[in-house]
Structure formats: structure tokens, C-alpha cells
Amino acid sequence: MSAAERLAEIRGRIAAAALQANRDPASITLVAVSKTFPPEAVMPLIDAGQAVFGENRVQEAAGKWPILLARHTELRLHLIGPLQTNKVRDALALFHAVHSLDRERLAAAIAKEVAAGTRCPDLFVQVNTGEEPQKAGVPPREAVAFVRRCRDVHGLTVAGLMCIPPLEDAPGPHFALLRKIGEEAGTGALSMGMSGDFETAIAFGATHVRIGSALFGARG
């Protein structure tokens, strides 16, 4: 299958899952996760009309995307991996959305750049729904308060929440928990669902699905 055919297949599955859940397929954004793949692998998807891409490392993205972004002004780049405070400036120069806001110091660092005139990206608070010690994200019981502090203390608008369920768990309860926290926090968007579980995530209300291997093939 060509990249364009894989994209069409995934778009079809997203639309079918949306309709199954009585949702408008247009309310779901496909974030094509291109991490580890070179520009030559990305370009056929851009040519096929894909405009939103995800990367998990600032440094990798900085080497790969500036030329593509300059050439295709419709592109939107999303950071889906951890962000160190010393990389915030580089990240905001490149990314239109950050899915990994997970601590006060990072909120403060982003707010400082925005105050200095940098465009504020769409922000998603990452929630560690499985409370895994090795995983990033705010603990579920602290998430609503953290969203409020982002707004009240740092002046940041939080667009939504993001989670990565534990590998060994059924994802549904994690997606349901993220949605419940989002309702309580008053954030609209839900970044949840990857290649293996995006249809389940859509059933639970995902607005952003982050799909890598199903589009690009297995990562080396």
C-alpha cells in the first residue's frame, strides 16, 4: 500500500468510528505521528492532503520540519512527547500544539515566552491515567486543579487533555477517565487513541487521535 492509500484507509476508519458513535467525523483531528521517519516518508502524506503531524522530540523535529513548514504553510505540527523547560523556546518556534504540559515549571516557562510575544500553542495537559511511575503526566486527582492553575496563575488557556494508557490495560477505562476529568476541568479537546486503539478512543470522545505506525509502518 502507498502512503496515500494508508492515509485513505485510516481516514475511512476514523469516519466509520465517528459515525458509529453518532459523531461528526470532522470533529476528529488525525495527528500523523512521523517520529523517526525522514522527510521523504512524510512528503507523500502532505501531497495526499494530510496537514497535521506529530513529533515526540524537539531536536528531531527541528532538524526535519523547518523546510517543510516553510514550503507548506497549511501544516500544523504537534509536540506529543516530553518537553524540557530549556527547550521551550525552540519548541514554541516550531510547534502549533503541545500535548505534554504536565508540570508547573513548564507552564511558567511557556507563559514567559508568550508574555515576550511568542504565539501560544494549543495546550493539552497530559494526565497519567494509569498512575505509572515511569510515565509523564499529572496524576488524575490533581489534573483539574492543575488546569485551573495554568489559567489563573499563568494566564494559559488549556485546550484539552491527553493520555497514554498503560500498555497492559484495556484502554477504554482510561479514555473514560480522561473524558470525565475534561468535563470537570471544562477543557474541550481530548487527545487519546493511537494506532492500536483509536476507534475505541473515538467511541469515548477523542477529538485528536495520534497515529504513527498504522500510517508509516513499524518504527525501526
Ligand X SMILES: *Cc1c(COP(=O)(O)O)cnc(C)c1O
- What is the contact surface with ligand X in residues (CB under 6 A)? 33, 35, 56, 80-81, 164, 194-196, 210-214
- Backbone φ and ψ for 58, nearest 5 degrees, come out as -60, -45
CB of 72 to ligand X, least distance (A): 22
Q: Cβ distance 107 to 149 under 8 Å?
A: yes
**Closest-CA residue to 163 (of 195, 131, 188, 141):** 131
Give Cα separations from 20 to 99, 192, 214 (angstroms): 26, 17, 21
Distance CA(83)–CA(99), nearest Å, equals 9
CB of 168 to ligand X, least distance (A): 15
Residue with cell 495546550: 123
CB of 124 to ligand X, least distance (A): 11
CB of 206 to ligand X, least distance (A): 12
Residue closer to ligand X by CB (options 56, 200) is 56
* Closest residue by beta carbon to ligand X: 212
Residue closer to ligand X by CB (options 58, 214) is 214
Residue closer to ligand X by CB (options 154, 163) is 163
CB of 149 to ligand X, least distance (A): 23
Residue closer to ligand X by CB (options 59, 155) is 59
Query: Which residue type, as a one-letter code, is found at position 130?
Result: G
CB of 141 to ligand X, least distance (A): 22
Residue closer to ligand X by CB (options 30, 147) is 30
Helix axes 104-115, 140-152, angle to 10 degrees: 20
What is the Rg, in whole angstroms, of the alpha carbon atoms belonging to the chain?
17
10 Å Cβ neighbour count for 122? 18
Residue with cell 453518532: 22
10 Å Cβ neighbour count for 155? 12
Residue closer to ligand X by CB (options 112, 135) is 135
